[in-house]
Amino acid sequence: MSKKLDMDKALDVIVLGLGANGSSALYHLSKINKKVAGIDRFAPPHSFGSSHGQSRIIRQAYYEDPVYVPFIKEAYGCWDEIERISGKSLWLKTGGLMLGPAGAEVVTGSRLSAETHGIAYEELGYADLKKRFPAFRPTPDTIGILEKEAGILFPESCITTWLEQAEKNGAALHMNERMLKIIPFKDRVEVHTSRGTYTAEKCILSAGAWMKELVAGISPELQLPLTAARQPLYWFTNQDSLQQASLLPDRMPVYIWEYLPKKMFYGFPDLGQGIKIAYHHGGVPVLPDALTQDVSMKEIEDMHAIVAEYLNLKATFRASAVCMYTNTPDGDFLLDYHPNYNNIILASPCSGHGFKFSSVTGRILSEMAIGGSTSMDITPFAFRRLA
């Protein structure tokens, strides 16, 4: 990833931030022979933002809102495309379980999305869950919504693959280059960085937790209501060999478990380094530049207690990591043009559930940069609802 841009030549599009959505957008733009460059303050994939930690869930029976289902169905096709082009395996189908009591949001919402969009699913009660998935310890009132097409994405490999393919297609990659100033004009955008100044017709701003700061630098009166939250991730190994088979991907699906109203944890089978588990939301606010990978013993003990209560394994803590959720107030995505400059595109399809969509949101961002119209209806993610 060494190609650099001739700064004397104007670009069609600059992509600022090369995490999940930025790297995907750069790839989709490069496919159609656009003169593009991607700039990132770090060297993706890295551990300073939201797109690391070995695994992400992909699922279709979307408990958050049925409006997302057409996007995730389209995303599956885009994941298949990049796998085919690159020759790499970027995801693994394991099936997915949404678990909780009858009235849990994750149960009722998953069922609604499945029935609205014709997604095949099974509804399992306590006895079936115990028999079919011995890795779990459900309570008698637990219901499971089982979706067979769900699975695991490998985020670092996804980002690396998009960037490699984008560079093969002619995109310029600028790593470890800090954005200092973005100046919009009627017919172009100037981007000033720690290493130079670049000019493009359009700019895609996909800087994750740094979005708010960069947008305020363009328009001080425009304060995006985005908040960054610190989200620890945990890995536990199993010390009971008799239980190990039930923790492997062919017997243990990915899952989200609503164990108390509006409180959830999620997890993955053992891919060779132990099971991964984490709370979904509930993280403390953090300034993105202040994020560290430190996790306290109290946090580890709290998660160990969750593992002991809900999973069947003799667990030993192995490792931790910390990522960020960049959240909108309503938890929905932001995909829109800057309200004052239609040559700047704001991309924050995040809020802790965006990675699985990035294969298609990157394509949508490229369409917005090329001609303004998109192949999918993104009005639910418009800026005006946040203003």
Instruction: Note the pLDDT tens digit of each residue in 168-216.
Output: 999 999 999 999 999 999 999 999 999 999 999 999 999 999 999 999 9
Contact at 8 Å (CB) between 299 and 284? Answer: no
60-to-68, 107, 145, 269 alpha-carbon distances in Å: 8, 13, 12, 19
Indicate whether 347 and 200 sit together in one domain: yes
Our count of domains for the chain comes to 2
Can you tell me the mean pLDDT for 42-61? Answer: 97
- 129, part of any domain: yes
Tokens 């993105």 locate to 288
- What is the pLDDT at residue 371? 86
Q: Is the pLDDT of residue 167 over 80?
A: yes
- Residues 264 and 360 occupy one common structural domain: no
Q: Are residues 344 and 221 in the same domain?
A: yes
- In 3D, which of 135, 111, 105 has the Cα closest to residue 124? 111
Is residue 56 a part of any domain in this protein?
no
Among 312, 327, 342, residue at a domain's last position: 327
Residue 320, strand partner residues: 234
Give the number of other CB atoms < 10 A from CB of residue 367: 19
The answer as to whether 74 is a domain residue is no
* Within a domain: 348: yes
| 262 and 315 belong to one structural domain | yes
The reply to whether 347 and 304 lie within a common domain is no
Do 237 and 302 fall within a single domain? yes
Give the model's pLDDT for residue 251: 97
| DSSP E strand boundaries for the chain | 11-16, 36-39, 56-58, 91-93, 96-100, 122-124, 143-147, 151-153, 172-174, 179-184, 189-193, 197-205, 227-238, 254-260, 263-268, 275-280, 315-327, 334-337, 344-348
What is d(CA 234, CA 267) in angstroms, rounded to the nearest whole number?
9
3-state secondary structure of 75: helix
How many angstroms separate the CA atoms of 92 and 53, rounded?
A: 16
Is 232 in the same domain as 128? yes
In the structure encoding, which two tokens stand for residue 241, read together? 């060999």
**Domain carrying residue 187:** 11-51+156-225+330-386
| pLDDT of 289 above 90 | yes
Whether residue 63 is contained in a domain is answered as: no
Given a cut of 70, is residue 256 above it in pLDDT? yes
Q: What percent of the chain has pLDDT over 70?
A: 98
Distance between CA 299 and CA 304 in Å, rounded? Answer: 9
Of 308, 327, 346, the residue at which a domain comes to its end is 327
Report how far residue 225's alpha carbon sits from residue 363's, in angstroms, rounded to the nearest whole number. 25
Instruction: Tell me: pLDDT of 148 over 90.
Output: yes
In a domain, residue 60? The reply is no
The percent of residues in the chain predicted with pLDDT above 90, rounded, is 96
Beta bridge partners of 199: 190
Residues 126 and 166 both lie in one domain: no
Average pLDDT for residues 139-161, to the nearest whole number? 98
Whether 36 is covered by a domain: the verdict is: yes
Q: What are the beta bridge partners of residue 27?
A: none
- Residue 372 confidence class, pLDDT cut points 50, 70, 90: confident
The pTM for the full model equals 0.96
Choose one of 286, 305, 327: the last residue of a domain.
327
Asked if the model's pLDDT at residue 2 lies above 60, the reply is no
Lowest mean pLDDT among 102-106, 252-256, 368-372, 374-378: 368-372
Identify whether residues 217 and 231 lie together within a single domain. no
Which residue's entry shows tokens 């678990």? 99
The pLDDT value given to residue 4: 52
Q: How far apart are CA 30 and CA 167, in angstroms?
A: 8
Return the pLDDT at 274: 98
Average of per-residue pLDDT values in the chain? 96
Query: DSSP label at 311?
Result: B
Place of tokens 């609802």: 385
Give residue 3's pLDDT: 53
Which CATH number is 267's domain given?
3.30.9.10
Q: Are residues 275 and 167 in the same domain?
A: no
In a domain, 77, yes or no: no
Distance CA 185, CA 218 (A): 11
Task: Say which residues have a Cβ less than 8 Å from residue 305's Cβ, sequence separation at least 6.
Answer: none
pLDDT bin (cut points 50, 70, 90) of residue 1 is: very low
